Structure 1
Amino acid sequence: MSLNRKLITYGFTDLEKSRRFLEAPELAGIDEDQLFEGLAASANPDMALQSLVRLLAVDRDAVIAAMADVDRRRPLFGLLGASEALGEFLMRHPEHLEVVRAAAVPLPDADPAELRAQLLRSVGADPAEENPVAGVLGVEAHRRLRVVYRRLVTDLAVRDLGHGVPVDYVGVVARELADLAAAALEASLAVARADLAEIYGADTVARVKLAVIAMGKCGARELNYISDVDVVYVVEGDDLEESTLARIGTGLASGMARGVYSPGPEPALWEVDANLRPEGRDGQLVRTLASHVSYYERWARTWEFQALLKARAMAGDPGLGRRYEEAIAPFVWASSQREGFVEAVRAMRRRVTENIPLDEQARQLKLGRGGLRDVEFTVQLLQLVHGRLDDSIRHRDTLSAIAALSAAGYVGRTDAQELDDAYRYLRVLEHRIQLVQLRRTHLMPEDEMALRALARSSEGSMVMVRPSAQHLQEKWQRTRRLVGRLHESIFYRPLLNNAATLRPEDVQLTDEAAQARLAALGYQDPRGAMNHIRALTGGLRRRAMLQRQLLPILLAWFADGVDPDAGLLGFRRLSESLGESHWYLGMLRDSNAAAERLSAVLSSSRFITDLLEVSPESTRWLGSDAALVPDSFEAQWQEIRSMMSRHPEPAEAIRLIRLIRRRELLRVAIADSASLLTQAEVGQALSDADRAAILGALHVAEKQVFDDQEQLTDVLVVAMGRQGGREITYGSDADVIYVHRPHPGVDAEAAQKQAERVVNRLGALLTQPCGSPVLAERPLEIDTALRPEGKQGAIVRTLESYREYYRRWSAIWEAQALLRARPIAGDDALAADFVAVIDDVRYPRELDQPELREIRRIKARVEAERLPRGADPSRHLKLGRGALSDVEWLMQLLQLQHAHDDASLRVQSTLAALDAVAAAGLLPEEEVEMLRASWNLATRIRAAIVIWTGRSSDQLPSSRRDLEAVARWCGYGPGRGADLEEDYLRMTRRSRTIFERHFYGS
């Protein structure tokens, strides 16, 4: 038999290269039968041969000894043919070749305690200690740790690759990898303790307890060979100052992460990712347990509770870790009670799928349709929904959870078995792909040789016939389809259990022709659009028949919007939310106005779509102009009072108050989209909704505080900034200051503390989680930075304190800020007295030259320092040239100069101030009109950005698509984004010229 034929028979691909390696001097004297017997056992003979030759060059005797041992030969070639990275590890450290040996049968699970002990001993730490300290420091400790870790991973890989049925062993592999990660972090933490002891002293560092909490796959003990290890940190210190505790805790956490990931003589292991901590990457790296609990009580979002399902103490102080688990568990299992929880989880899964790059969609094992995430989201949703009352399904890892859900009857036995089989198979593929280079990847290879090697390594030694690349592809695609089907039928139960394709008589186009038509209409993803159409129109139910009638019209209307794909997706989500509601599709069928309005908002507004998704009953408003008239403040307050009388419990009361605010926010946005409100009316309606919510929250806060102690003081909330001017938009915070007046005869200090309790509780009530998806929740953020002395000042002051402060210490900028002050909640008499106090401040008899210079200096400083780095001043909507800030400062300067003598200037609104300035002749009429136009356009653009993206931004968009969407909202026709941009730049240039002429006198 020729050599080429022999190589082909044994599975080689690159014949020329393999022939050269077979002629390498390192193979001289090697038994050819042993060599080819071993190569035949490898998944990738080409890679195995190359690694073998290189390994022989490093330690020939050790390799020959392994090859001569019939029990070690197959594991050696199996490893070299499956993992180039572990082969290179053995080349760097041939002394560890001994781990390549035949595994015992049955294969035992590794003892987590023994893994921990081995890695701790590698850095000279005592495993018997609860919080061990390394005896080796710095880079050398990290090197030793990484070498022992990789030796243990190699040992595991040998057992894994040698198992006859890898899908049966994948759960053991995942658990051991998670235990290895925990052990590595424990050892690295011991090194960090030792390193910090050199700086802070051993006794001080020993007083700091750090618990490392595993999240994600590591928390579930189902880790991959190479994966980010998601963690959060909990810190505790006996009698240590908060700053010292935070500094040492952060040092321990950072040092631990560096130990496994920083560059060094031995390559890094994997990245430690702490972005799942409270507030994400913007939050503190380490927090106390009380701080964690407080965050999850008040501010955590729905997805964070889903992430906590996997939380597990993995390293560090075990007692603190256990207390964290016990404190967090109630949040996890109560999360399904949050309003909109199920749809929030579904929406999150859809967003993950939508964000996959197009070139990866067909290769994704993890995120794509029919991938690992579909199984995990399905299982987690069922656990979170039913686990509140059934603790038998409270498992962290996916495989145990599937079995428990089946045993409890939440998933049918057949479905559960298919989910289990599919998940195991996908995890084996993921493991084998990552083993090759020990790189974090979830993409199926495209190269034929790599696919063939993957097919061989993933099937196991029990398979008699070597599988081909085609066999692998077919099996993977079958698995994807199966998982996709199960995900659809279970995850969207019961709404989406029909996914039948359209019948020819329903749509008189083939799929191919329909996709071509959708592409011609402007859909970017015709195939995805067809999937939505099938889901909407499949089956014989009345809803499907109505949607078959409506969709041809709606598809064209969606195409008239900026993003038709989003319009169709939003319609599908909304239809799923409303289910079989008889009125919904009937309204769209019978009312052109409702259908057109719905089509317009779904294809042009992420903000409204998200709000409609969690409040789908609000779709009723689309068919009636009367229903879109915003409720007045008085009507909202009456509703809130009635609701509070029926629901005195604070948590329920504030939930309903915020739902009322969200409802009005949505009503205003839809009315705005239908051009039923002017810009001024939008600001006033939004301000009314905020005012009603703040007033309601104040009553709830006072009830909570006064139930515990006698009322000692009256509290007043005063709106500032745009909130005071009733000119807010959809993404605005509430700028406020707080005033209180103690009751006669009470202790002043006690009254002050009580007032602080009230206002702090007020802010928390308005921002704590309320059970809605991130974009739809829209909590009302309270900003008190405009109070006397800014963030350094008391959060609430007495009326007399304000009077004294403004008399003795206030600066001119504070008088300027008070021009917009407007009491919105609290005691009416106190409000009147406070206005009397500030009127003398904000409407001074005269503005002297030093004060005028100070105002000009502050404005120049704001422009120089507060404009974001790299921002184009000509495009910044708030602080840019001729934008909102310029108009507002000019109006406020004129008010400071003239409002004492002219009462018509005593207004909080910028637009009202412009009217008053024009009427008083303080500026030429044409200049006032230009200032008004630029201010209105900038305000409208800010609102449009929130409406389009669901996020606030002060930058005029630069992308054509975003400009087009914003231009549509601002009243420009299709294709006129460039016109909007040109108009804005032209208006603000003129506005800036007017501003500089009158503000700086130039």
Structure 2
Amino acid sequence: MSLPLLAELPAALQPLVSRNATSLRNAVAAVDGLSLDDWNEQRWAEFARVAAASDFVLEQSVRDPAMLLALAASGELDRAFAAGELCAQVAGAAQAAGSEDELARNLRRQRTRQQVRIIWRDLTRQADLVQTCRDLSDLADAAIDQAYQWLYPRLCAQFGTPTGNRSGLPQQMVVLGMGKLGAVELNLSSDIDLIFAYPEGGETVGVKRPLDNQEFFTRLGQRLIKALDPITVDGFVFRVDMRLRPYGSSGALVLSFNALEQYYQDQGRDWERYAMIKARVVAGDQQAGAQLQDLLRPFVYRRYLDFSAIEALRTMKQLIQQEVRRKGMAENIKLGAGGIREVEFIAQAFQLIHGGRDLSLQQRPLLKVLATLEGQGYLPPAVVSELREGYEFLRYTEHAIQAIADRQTQMLPDDELDRARIAFMLGFADWASFHAQLMHWRGRIDWHFRQVIADPDEEEGEEGEVVVGGEWLPLWEEAQDEEAACRQLTDAGFADAARALKQLASLRASPQLRAMQRLGRERLDAFIPRLLAQAVEHADPDLVLERVLPLVEAVARRSAYLVLLTENPGALRRLLTLCAASPWIAEQITRFPLLLDELLNEGRLFSPPQAPELAAELRERLTRIPEDDLEQQMEALRHFKLAHSLRVAASEIAGNLPLMKVSDYLTWLAEAILNQVLALAWRQTVARHGQPRRSDGSLCDPGFIIVGYGKVGGIELGHGSDLDLVFIHDGDPQAETDGAKPIDSAQFFTRLGQRIIHLLTTQTNSGQLYDVDMRLRPSGASGLLVSSLGAFERYQRNEAWTWEHQALVRARVLVGCPQVGAAFEGVRAQVLGQARDLDKLRAEVSDMRAKMRDNLGTRATQAGLGPNAFDSGVAFDIKQDAGGIVDIEFMVQYAALAWSHTHPALLRYTDNIRILEGLEEVGLMPASDAILLREVYKAFRSAAHRQALQKQAGVIDAGQFVDERRQVRRIWGELGLT
């Protein structure tokens, strides 16, 4: 090696590299036929970096210089392997073995060769962190699987082939790789954590003395470990750690799938959930392994929000910290404060909490999980960026430490030479500058870790730790007399302290609380003081308590929800604010506690997405669910609707959304859901019967539309609105579908419509999506569920009543085939745009309105006080009474039917506001009247929304809106309506 290259190294490392270069030259010279003559300056520069950092590579190269020169000559030091290439090399070595001893020797030599290559490329930065970890993990996968493939047939020849009792099929073992191996994140000197399993009990066949399957696979597992783990003159392949299996070192080496499932269901501990996140089938029967992971997934990922995971991680971290202190491991970059493990804990806390519902978090590699946490809004980009950079710095440091001697350690060295090596490998001039950067990243990671994992009871102050809400604990635990408790409640702002105390006592005595287990009761006892401490910050704590305690009782048996609110004071604060503002919201969250998830992210809660983002979010959620998992798809749709309905209501209460935007969002939400429901129903119906055909023989795809009437058609949905729908298709009713079970198109579309209604209305754990009203279809309840476009047109032209044409004014295609949608719009325009006898039209509209008032209005109208009885002192039905919402709607519909023949632009929109604007623009209504009707209409709808959020009927005091109602009736009369 030339002196200029040596001079580029830190002074402390120059003698070491010089000695190592000499050692390599001497080793090469000692072997006939070997030469370093073709090593150019670049290769020596790479050697200088490697020789400065890794005694292991130097020792192996001196021991077997032919191996190093072969790696260099083949170009394997200079390129990434193609997919499967590394496995092929390991497989070749394993298959060449004629005995178990030879298998062990070949695998060890292959491991040494690959390890030299991987460390070389890592230290010369020809491979980045992800590639290095992937190569190491691929090496482990290949070694385990090739050893297994070599051993299995030989054990079958000796002991018979294991066969399942139930299936009668040959059995193979499944090897689960845990931890870093499972996540494809092995470091340069990782051990491998494994769990062995087999599908079912039985015994071997084909021999005189059969073995029980468990005994067979135990022997196989023992031999597999022997092939990989022991240190021989050739080194080792991988250190094998089996302690993550059920019952640890004292448990059976191999268990059946049933035994594993039973263990995790009955005895699985929190740390085992944490470990199982990264489990991956690394060897054996991949298909059976996928079935095993499906069995174990419910243990790892709970379907509800599981904030108890934070408690478990906090406990694990405390145990680790105790061990770090006991063993003096503060300099351990994995386990110490701000170490690798803390980044893993942050990511896996979110996975355990949310992964049951957000399937995008069900993945193993940490860097991918961090990217998902950013993309899904769980963590801000700046936080993820710091965690990623800090983690990568720590992992590169870990590799530098381990590359020195191929030792499994994460401790920073105290030897000056090794410190100089690590600083050089990480690109620093000296140890001090490296260590300063290391401590910067450890400090940032530890700070972020404490934000996620920190105990909310721990508040730093002069007095040390203070329990939040601790002043309320004696009251909750009945450690003080009733008089003192009432005085405390009164002093804190409760208007009726006795009633509040009684409500708390009723909660304590409820069957749900009496049935709670010890852990749940501890969580409740931690939560109630926090609830009271925040309730008294509100203007009406009595109301807050009254509305929130039913929720507490409802979730008492699922105490993970209490942990969620305990761990997230901001979420509890938002819960109390929303419940105080709206009993409707309080009831929704009580019925569906999964909505508590929405309270965690304040920005998301009060900023519902626009229509395209809404549709994309739902589409993305459903793509993560297998197409054949109907139950999960229905739950996902319902949760999506509940969550976004809550966001809209919260935004409305907060004043972030005006009335018109509230209706827009609720309508967009319905359209996004209907779009996915149609797609789901279409797939299911086509899978059974095939696709229907049009009259020209082409396949319908889907040749079907869902038309919205009423509020959804008029873009005026409110909280809890049902959907008025009509289904229309353009298939040939006589033609049959092209599937294995063909039916005619009329039957097909009827079944499609039934499927859609089923998906929308079925009650699941998360309620139903929508109530659906189909009575506006041709011939109403007695008509066909789905009409062809031609039949719909004939009915509207020849049979429909005037009130059905009024309803058609607000009809709009929501989802479905664009071509059929355009044809429907043409039919609608022709039907509504026909010339009409205005006297007859006014009479029919007036008669229909009178009937509605008589049947649906308040008692004043029904008692004969007349449509102008505004000052009678009775209540006012915002929607049905004279001068109310329906009067305005009928006037708009009358105008559209009367004048769209000469002013077709009136049919462009289906919502009342824009039709009124159209009437003003073409001069059919004075601007003052059009403006007045628009403002009154919005005022009425705002009042109705407020009533809905207060869980009250749309009936208010008759003294409200008196002048507005008079003006509405004036315009009604001026249009000639009676």
Shorter-chain TM-score: which interval?
A: 0.3 to 0.5
Larger Rg: 2
* TM-score of the aligned structures, taking structure 1 as reference length: 0.45
* TM-score of the aligned structures, taking structure 2 as reference length: 0.46
Q: Which has the higher contact order (CA 8 A, sep 6+)?
A: 1
